Amino acid sequence: MKTTARFTAGTVACLLLFVSVSARPAAAGAAENPAERDARMRWWREARFGMFVHWGLYSGLAGTWEGKPVGDKGGMEWIQQRVKADTGTYAKKAIPLFKPAPGFAKEWAKLAKQAGCKYIVLTSKHHDGFALHDSKVSDYDAGSVLNRDLIREFVDAARAEGLRLGFYHSVIDWHHDQYEYALSKQLPHPLKGKPYPNGKRDHAAYLKFLHAQADELVSNYGPVDVLWWDYSSQDFEGDAAWRAFDLMAAVRAKQPAIIMNNRLFRNPAAGWKSMGTDGFALSIDSKYGDFITPEQHIPATGMPGLDFEVCMTLNTTWGYSAHDHAWKSDETLIRNLVDIASKGGNYLLNIGPKADGSLTPETVKAFRAIGAWMAVNGESIYETAASPFPYLPWGRSTARKDGSGVTLYLHVFDWPAGGELKVPMKADIAGVRLLAAPDTKVAVTADGKHTVLRLPAAAPDKIATVIKLVLKSAPKIDMSVKQPAAK
């Protein structure tokens, strides 16, 4: 909700100050040495699994416009753009349908906790421009429209479950009347190609607003663990588009420990290869952000030394749609989590709550299934490192260094016929245990190239049975066993 003056003299002075330091773009990261960075990133690297929440005005529309489904696939958080509605038309239809129930976030946080998520990231504002907090610099926010601060309610619910929390914040804005969408040919806008309905626009005024809202989010809710920016294009990114270095520095000044992604940028040094959400590069210069963000796509191989987080939907949409029934199976979801951990990354798995905050039965079922698996096998995911094997024909692995020894977790997807599992390594083994069947005896032999494990005839867990191997020293891995070339 707006108060009298949009920007105080102090804000303007601060903005000017940030402009003056922008000649030193690495300012935010440069003060930090590698050990400090490792300490800051530690919880995130150990967490491996988080819940993403896409929730906003679009949730009430539920993929329907003027009584008709807009489609049964794809992101219905984009519905305003899909139907090419101006913000007034969109708001008029969507606002009456957005009816958050009291305590809406409690179920999300409980489900996240139950599933084994360590953090939860909510859309504070998506591309439609509607902010879920009580913003002093906007009338298009939950404070103005519902007289509520939905971010406060979310933060309280997340903290009550002991979860780390973050905000997804779109820098694209389909509402703000000074956002100069014609500056980018690549970024989406419902009115793209059409003249501004309000005459000339002043993008700098939009940027003041963007920076002020980000400041509210990092000032008013205690520690914020993650800022998940979305997104930039090759033709509109970074300083030119968002005054990105100032924005990052201002956020860091308020939240020194915060972890931010790379989406204020879209260039190779920032971890991007193309405009495709799977077009990521295998490196990132930390001045552009802390981690890279493959979307709806798992990298083919691990990325040594690189922090990455794969975000994915449960069906095909981020925002709730009544028409999307393409739910991923429990097997796919759990194996994705394992696959990503084996490559050294995090999995940010999305829920799209309905307008009242409630969840579909499919959503609850999926997260509970992951939770049941994690309750037994979580130690093979949390605080682990990427697989030391170039390739395992039957599944995946993760590893952990323990004193002078190493613990390997083998995740068996394809149970060996006859129960004999060949692991392409020589190793000095101190202990072996099936996490899902701890009392089952497993005999270990060697056949020259392999360590051979004699397992029960049937898999204790059909989705992914985890074998914990405690080794006295680092294994000698057969590096010649490689992934076959894709057909």
Residue 123 beta carbon to ligand H79: minimum distance, rounded to whole angstroms: 7
Residue 76 beta carbon to ligand H79: minimum distance, rounded to whole angstroms: 8
**Running DSSP on this structure, what letter comes out for residue 101?**
P
Judged by CB under 6 A, the number of residues near ligand H79 is 11
Residue 375 beta carbon to ligand H79: minimum distance, rounded to whole angstroms: 28
Q: Residue 180 carries which side chain, given as an amino acid letter?
A: E
Residues 6+ apart with CB under 8 A from 452: 420, 421, 422, 423, 444, 445, 446
- Determine the Cα–Cα distance for residues 168 and 357; give it in Å rounded to an integer: 17
Residue 480 beta carbon to ligand H79: minimum distance, rounded to whole angstroms: 38
If the CB atoms of residues 73 and 450 are measured against ligand H79, the closer one turns out to be 73
Distances, alpha carbon 173 to alpha carbons 59, 80, 179, 242, in Å = 17, 11, 7, 12
Buried b (16+ CB within 10 A) or exposed e, 29-40: beebeeeeeeee
* Strand boundaries in 70-202, DSSP class E: 119-125, 164-170
Rg, C-alpha atoms of the chain: 24
If the CB atoms of residues 261 and 398 are measured against ligand H79, the closer one turns out to be 261
If the CB atoms of residues 78 and 90 are measured against ligand H79, the closer one turns out to be 78
Contact set for ligand H79, span 30-59 (CB under 6 A): 54
Please select the residue that binds ligand H79; options are 22, 26, 64, 74, rule is CB under 6 A.
Answer: 74
Residue 295 beta carbon to ligand H79: minimum distance, rounded to whole angstroms: 6
Q: Residue 211 carries which side chain, given as an amino acid letter?
A: H
Q: x/- site string to ligand H79, residues 416 to 455, per CB under 6 A?
A: ----------------------------------------
Handedness of CA 147, 152, 156, 162 (dihedral sign): positive
Q: Is 75 in the site for ligand H79 (CB under 6 A)?
A: yes
Rounded to 5°, the CA angle 287-298-481 comes to 110
- Determine the Cα–Cα distance for residues 67 and 429; give it in Å rounded to an integer: 63
Using the contact rule CB under 6 A, the part of the chain among 70-78, 368-376, 396-404, 419-427 near ligand H79 is: 70-78
- Determine the Cα–Cα distance for residues 98 and 357; give it in Å rounded to an integer: 9
Q: Is 230 in the site for ligand H79 (CB under 6 A)?
A: yes
Helix (H) or strand (E) holding 432: strand 429-434
Residue 336 beta carbon to ligand H79: minimum distance, rounded to whole angstroms: 16
- Determine the Cα–Cα distance for residues 4 and 304; give it in Å rounded to an integer: 51
Closest residue to ligand H79: CB criterion:
75
If the CB atoms of residues 222 and 276 are measured against ligand H79, the closer one turns out to be 276
Please select the residue that binds ligand H79; options are 55, 65, 78, 209, rule is CB under 6 A.
Answer: 78
If the CB atoms of residues 348 and 392 are measured against ligand H79, the closer one turns out to be 348
If the CB atoms of residues 108 and 389 are measured against ligand H79, the closer one turns out to be 108
If the CB atoms of residues 220 and 296 are measured against ligand H79, the closer one turns out to be 296
Instruction: Please say whether the beta carbons of 216 and 135 come within 8 A.
Output: yes
Please select the residue that binds ligand H79; options are 44, 318, 347, 389, rule is CB under 6 A.
Answer: 318
Residue 311 beta carbon to ligand H79: minimum distance, rounded to whole angstroms: 5
Q: Is 231 in the site for ligand H79 (CB under 6 A)?
A: yes
Closest by CA to 236, choosing from 293, 192, 282, 298, is 192
Instruction: Please say whether the beta carbons of 329 and 345 come within 8 A.
Output: no
If the CB atoms of residues 264 and 469 are measured against ligand H79, the closer one turns out to be 264
Q: Is 324 in the site for ligand H79 (CB under 6 A)?
A: no
Q: 150: left (phi > 0), else alpha (psi -120 to 50), else beta?
A: alpha
Q: Is 277 in the site for ligand H79 (CB under 6 A)?
A: yes
Q: Is 98 in the site for ligand H79 (CB under 6 A)?
A: no
Strands 443-446 and 405-412: unpaired
Please select the residue that binds ligand H79; options are 53, 61, 65, 77, rule is CB under 6 A.
Answer: 77
Rounded to 5°, the CA angle 103-107-113 comes to 130
If the CB atoms of residues 171 and 218 are measured against ligand H79, the closer one turns out to be 171
Tokens representing residue 463 in the block: 């989705």
Please select the residue that binds ligand H79; options are 270, 311, 399, 408, rule is CB under 6 A.
Answer: 311
Using the contact rule CB under 6 A, the part of the chain among 29-37, 72-80, 189-197, 363-371 near ligand H79 is: 72-80
What residues line the site for ligand H79 (CB under 6 A)?
54, 74-75, 77-78, 230-231, 277, 295, 311, 318
